[in-house]
Structures are given as C-alpha cells and as structure tokens.
C-alpha cells in the first residue's frame, strides 16, 4: 500500500508500519475494540477531506496518485473471456486517455472519465424552499389509448380463459380444484400475471453474470412459446447498465472496496454463524455500526443482514397496538410489511404532500384513537429519502418542521437514498479496513459523488429538454420516463437492447405504479461517463420519436439531441 499519498490515511498517522487494520489488531493485544478509536481516526480523515478542496487537488483525477494503471482488460474479470472488438462501444472509452491520465478502474465496471467539467456538487441551501415536483399530464389521446389498451388486454384475457377452460382444460389444471385440493393459485388472483405480465416477460428477470457495474453481461435467452418457457442460447451480450442500484459505482471486482472484502473473507470467513445476540456478533459488526452512525451523524446504528428485513422487522420493535403510523402512500413494500405486522394503525398521506401530511396530523392528534378517542401512544411518520419508482426526494426540511410542531417521531428510510449525491464528506466507506489512501481520505468518494450528481442532472434535464415527461427531483439518480401505453414498455425495452450499443432498462407498470403511468426507470451511477449518458439520451431521442413519447415541454422549447450533447454542462446546471 503506497504511503506517499498527498493525503495520508488516518491509520498511517497512528501506526505507519501497519499495512492494515487486521494486522494492527493481531499485533496488539486483543483489547476491546472500541468504536471510539475508529471514530477519532475517522473524524481526522473527514476534517482533512473537508479542508483539502478536492477540485483543486494537484491531479485532475484522484486516482492518479496510484502508480499502477489498469487498461480496459484485466486478468481476472469476465472481460478477458471475450475478444475486445468494441463494436458495441462499451469495452473501450470513446476518448482514449492521454499519457497523463491513468485510470485504476476497469472501464466496463467503472467508466473512465477525466473531464472535470463533468462533475457537479448538488447541495440544498439551508432555508431555501424545496420546490415540489409538478406532474405533467400527457395529451388526452394517450390517456384514452392507455385505458383502451388495458381494456383490450383484459377482455382478450377473459375470452382466452373462457374458451381455454372449455377446449384445453389440460392447460388450466393448476387453476381448478383437483382431488379435493383447492388450486394453489386462483385464476382471478393470477389473471394479471397470466394475461398481462406474461406478454412482457422478456423485460423481467433477465439473468445476468459478472459485475453489475457500468456494463453488465446478459445471458441471452429466447422464448419459443410466448414467454411460457425461456431457453438460454448460450451466448452473452454486454450491455450498458442503467438499471442497477450502484449509485457510487462501488460494484467492482477490483479496487479498494473489493480488496478490503477479499481481505475480510480471508481473515473472517463469510459467515457469522448465528444471530447477533446468540454468538454471531463480531468485532467487525461493532466497527461498521459505529462507522455508519458517524457517517449519518447519529448516536448509534444497527446493521441488518437484508434491506427488506430492516424495515419489515425493525418497525414492529418501535410501534405496536395503540400507536399510529403515518406513511407516505408510495412507501416501499417492506415498510408496509413491517407496519402490518406491528399491529399499529396506519394512515396514509398523499405522496410527498406536506399540506396533506399536516392536515392528517392535525386530524389524528385531535381525534385520537378510533372509537375510544384516547390519545395515541406514539405517532411515527415513515417516509423514504428517495422513492425508487418516482425518483422523488422527500421534502426533509418541511417534514422536520412538521415533526417538531406535532411532536411525532420521524423515521427516514434511506435504503435508496444512501449514497445519493450530496456534499457530505465521504471518507466513510462500507468496509473501512485497508483501503488505499485515495479512498480512505475521501477524495475518491468525493469525485464519485460529484460524477453521480452530474450524471443524474444531465440525464434528467436532458430528457426534459428533449421533450420527455419525467418524474422526480433532478438531483436524484433515479430518473423515470413516462411511457403510459402498456404496449410501449415491451417495445422500449427491446429497442434499447437491440441498439448497436445495447442498453438494459427497467420498465415498470401496474401494480408497482398507478395504472396509467407505466414508466421506464433509469438508475444513474457514478460509474457512467458523460459518453454513456449521451448514448442513453440519443437512444431515448430515437425511440421517443418512433414510439411517440415526447409529450413534455412544447415543441418550440425543445432542444435537438446535438444541442443537448454538446452543451452537457449547461444542461446539467439548468
């Protein structure tokens, strides 16, 4: 590990000889590893990251401080199994690096982008009003054709069921009562799955392999029988990945984080062999909980082994009978699951609507519990930081005002918002063990955050300028485009995948969204380069014309794709 970095790591300050924390612990006596020692080192690193303005660091890319260079093919990624013909433009950067630019990442996992113009810091000015998102309505013919599409799908489905049950009863056996067993799946409950979702199954559950980084390898499949079975062809396609939750681009097979994980596997194994209270607690748990708490600025933190379980099992510990949960109407399924098993009463308010929340708070506090009118024991407001289907950020300043005013407790779920662009000093990283200095000091994290912020705003504003209807906050890395008609989802997905540079996208429809607002959801990452976002914008522009998707700003105000691409920095700063 090179120690000649301009920003020495805190570990290096404490004990210059020790190459890693593990070593350090094994050489010292096994004193209780207190969180305090981690934290003091951490705050030093934070302070350093804050003082040293990263934009004026001696090198244009922070990765420069490392001597080794990794070209686009490396010995132990899936990449080298293929010849690098670069027909899809994904394996090699569009602008070859100059001799001064050295990148430590694999381009297909974390894109090479040295241009400082394509960085952005997004920050909320304290006291400024948070502007809510204004929904744009599509023309009426779109709405009408959407409803008609669903109507046709439903009618056709019922006709097929009706005829099929009489003529081809063998195919419906699993939906009929048989030998005294009720069907596992009633035909009413599964109607949507059988008759609507099956039609577009090629968009879902696509198996992949390799790192879910900037690009991803698809295992190609075909369906000979209208999606009832899928057959793997044995070939693989590399596609630009704008679908995975990889905000800061740490999904990498190499680099500091992966190295730290490797070391921890070698030393700790992969299993804790039990629940935390029954002999499964490790010193690593203590350390990373302290770290998470420090990062988010809280007293303490609890780590759960699964995202879904965090909500579904911790909410019942906080509220129970006689308590009220006030939940945003678009909260994630895990929150609903948790609230339902907690036994608390639930009331919902309109998505991100502070007025509606305030009225509801007034009502529930003054009315008390239903029937008895006793005061509520506790009122818990549950919101998400970033909504995974909408891309909206919660209006935190306003909601904290309300919380104070009405004395409720606020629980913010940041599952999706974690690592979202913000100016926080980011020296804290998931496994803070033996990270290279650029990671430990926070410079790399900072670059990644600024790349993410640029990419998010560029894509979001670019799509708006091209005439699409989008949802959500421009700074959010989740960018949905509304498609409306169900038939367009399949087409959009296929057209994106069949381009010369294949792009994989997530399309979502009812029941994950309201019936009419089917959408495609992009999930931007710091791993994307400006060229990648250009590529997505160009693809959307082409397909948007074919599928008639541009119903946003009026024609006169729209920009051409060339304008958007050439003035990217302006677009991002809009």
Q: 76 or 225, CB closer to other proteins?
A: 76
Calpha distance 357→350 (Å, rounded): 7
| CB closer to other proteins out of 129 and 182 | 182
Nearest to 505 by CA among 494, 516, 518, 517: 494
Distance, CA of 104 to CA of 94 (rounded, Å): 17
Cis (ω within 30 of 0) for the bond into 190? Answer: no
CB of 434 to other proteins, least distance (A): 15
CA distance 245 to 388: 10
Q: Minimum Å distance from CB 395 to other proteins?
A: 20
Q: Which two tokens stand for residue 126?
A: 């304290």
- For other proteins, the closer of residues 318 and 569 by Cβ is 318
CA distance 518 to 404: 37
Radius of gyration of the chain measured on its C-alpha atoms: 26
Q: Which residues have a Cβ under 8 Å from the Cβ of 324 and sit 6 or more positions away?
A: 344, 345, 346, 347, 364, 369, 376, 378, 379, 380
Least distance from C-beta 50 to other proteins, angstroms?
28
Q: Rounded distance, CA 262 to CA 100, Å?
A: 30
In three-state secondary structure terms, 524 is: coil
Please answer whether residues 280 and 274 qualify as being in contact, where contact means their C-beta atoms are separated by less than 8 angstroms. yes
CB closer to other proteins, 104 vs 461: 104
Q: Which is nearer to other proteins, 390 or 541 (CB)?
A: 390
Instruction: Give the C-alpha separation, 10 to 156, whole Å.
Output: 66
Do 448 and 483 touch, CB atoms closer than 8 A?
no
For other proteins, the closer CB: 7 or 536: 536
First-to-last alpha carbon distance for the chain, in angstroms, is 42
Closer Cβ to other proteins, 103 or 110, answer by number: 110
In angstroms, give the least distance from the CB of 135 to other proteins.
17
Closest CB to other proteins among 162 and 204? 204
Helix axes 486-497, 530-547, angle to 10 degrees: 140
Pick between residue 136 and residue 272 the one whose CB is nearest to other proteins: 272
Dihedral pair phi/psi, residue 380, rounded to 5°: -115, 120
In angstroms, what is the minimal distance from the CB of 134 to other proteins? 22
Kindly list the distances between the CA atom of residue 338 and the CA atoms of 91, 309, 311, in Å, as whole numbers in the listed order.
Answer: 43, 8, 6
Cβ distance to other proteins smaller for residue 431 or 568: 431
Shortest Cβ 385–other proteins spacing (Å) = 17
Least distance in Å: CB of 187 to other proteins? 13
Task: Rank residues 254 and 448 by Cβ distance to other proteins and give the closer one.
Answer: 254
Give 258 or 553: the residue with its C-beta nearer to other proteins. Answer: 258
d(CA 247, CA 525): 4
Task: Give long-range contacts, CB 8 A cutoff, 24+ apart: 49-53.
Answer: 49/7, 49/425, 49/426, 49/427, 49/441, 49/442, 49/443, 49/446, 50/425, 52/6, 52/7, 52/441, 52/443
206/461 with CB nearer other proteins: 206
Distance CA 246, CA 560 (A): 30
Dist CA 435 CA 529 (whole Å): 24
Measured between alpha carbons, how far is 35 from 15 in angstroms, rounded to an integer?
A: 18
- Give the nearest distance from C-beta 306 to other proteins in angstroms: 4
């Amino acid at each position: 590990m090179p120690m000649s970095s301009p920003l020495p790591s805190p570990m290096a300050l404490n004990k210059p000889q020790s190459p890693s924390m593990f070593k350090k612990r094994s050489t010292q006596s096994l004193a209780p590893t207190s969180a305090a020692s981690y934290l003091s080192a951490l705050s030093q690193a934070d302070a350093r990251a804050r003082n040293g303005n990263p934009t004026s660091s001696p090198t244009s890319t922070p990765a420069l401080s490392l001597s080794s260079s990794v070209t686009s093919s490396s010995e132990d990624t899936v990449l080298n199994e293929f010849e690098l013909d670069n027909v899809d433009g994904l394996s090699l950067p569009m602008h070859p690096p100059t001799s001064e630019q050295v990148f430590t990442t694999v381009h297909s996992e974390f894109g090479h982008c040295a241009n400082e113009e394509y960085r952005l810091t997004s920050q909320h000015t304290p006291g400024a009003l948070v502007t809510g998102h204004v929904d744009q309505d599509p023309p009426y013919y779109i709405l009408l054709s959407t409803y008609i599409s669903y109507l046709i799908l439903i009618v056709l489905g019922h006709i097929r069921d009706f005829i099929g049950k009489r003529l081809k009863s063998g195919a419906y056996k699993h939906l009929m009562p048989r030998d005294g067993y009720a069907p596992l799946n009633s035909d009413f409950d599964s109607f949507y799955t059988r008759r609507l979702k099956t039609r577009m199954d090629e968009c879902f559950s696509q198996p992949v392999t390799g790192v879910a980084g900037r690009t991803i390898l698809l295992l190609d499949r075909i369906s000979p029988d209208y999606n009832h079975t899928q057959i793997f062809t044995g070939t693989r396609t590399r596609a630009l990945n704008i679908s995975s939750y990889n905000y800061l681009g740490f999904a990498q097979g190499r680099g500091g984080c992966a190295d730290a994980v490797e070391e921890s596997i070698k030393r700790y194994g992969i299993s804790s062999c039990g629940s935390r209270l029954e002999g499964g607690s490790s010193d690593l748990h203590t350390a990373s909980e302290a770290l998470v708490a420090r990062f988010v600025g809280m007293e303490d933190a609890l780590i759960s082994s699964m995202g879904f379980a965090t909500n579904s099992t911790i909410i019942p510990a906080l509220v129970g009978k006689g308590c009220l949960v006030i939940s945003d109407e678009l909260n994630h399924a895990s929150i609903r699951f948790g609230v339902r098993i907690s036994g608390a009463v639930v009331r919902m308010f309109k998505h991100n609507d502070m007025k509606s929340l305030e009225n509801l708070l007034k009502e529930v506090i003054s009315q008390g519990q239903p029937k008895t009118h006793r005061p509520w024991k506790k009122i818990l407001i549950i919101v998400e930081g970033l909504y995974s289907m909408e891309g909206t950020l919660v209006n935190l300043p306003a909601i904290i005002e309300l919380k104070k005013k009405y004395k409720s407790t606020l629980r913010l779920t940041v599952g999706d918002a974690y690592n979202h662009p913000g100016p926080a000093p980011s020296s804290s990283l998931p496994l803070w063990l033996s990270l290279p200095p650029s990671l430990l000091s926070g410079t790399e994290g900072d670059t990644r955050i600024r790349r993410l912020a640029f990419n998010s705003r560029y894509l979001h504003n670019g799509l708006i300028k091209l005439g699409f209807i989008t949802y959500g906050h421009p700074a959010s890395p989740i960018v949905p485009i509304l498609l409306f008609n169900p038939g367009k989802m399949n087409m959009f997905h296929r057209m994106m995948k069949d381009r010369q540079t294949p792009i994989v996208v997530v399309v979502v429809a009812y029941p994950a969204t309201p019936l009419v607002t089917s959408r495609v959801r992009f999930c931007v990452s710091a791993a994307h380069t400006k060229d990648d976002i250009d590529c997505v914008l160009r693809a959307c522009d082409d397909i948007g014309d074919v599928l008639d998707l541009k119903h946003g700003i009026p024609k006169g105000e729209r920009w051409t794709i060339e304008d958007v691409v050439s003035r990217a920095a302006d677009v991002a700063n809009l």
